[in-house]
Amino acid sequence: MSKMKYINFEKSGIIIFASHIPHVVIAQKFPNEKPISAGFFRVSDNGDIVCYGESIGLNLESDPEDTETIKGYLRGLFIPYSFLPPF
């Protein structure tokens, strides 16, 4: 199971980053953005994704809707094998 952090910004949407980086460090990189939710998400061995927790530094909680947004985002990053052209 892997664990990552995220921040959901009002305009830009969700930014995903490594769990060892503080939320506030990433938020500072987007000074013109307003964070609206933040926390962690995990991907289980069977591929389930769940958002949870909070960012203490940003004083924001995760939002249950963020789970669906991250699922959609991650689905868009991977191309199913059946759609790849033959080598």
- In the predicted structure, residue 75 carries a pLDDT above the cut 50: yes
Is residue 79 scored above 60 in pLDDT? no
Burial of 65 (0-12, 13-18, 19+ CB in 10 A): exposed
As a whole number of angstroms, the distance between CA 23 and CA 27 comes to 6
What is the residue extent of each domain of the chain?
Answer: 2-83
pLDDT for the residue numbered 64: 92
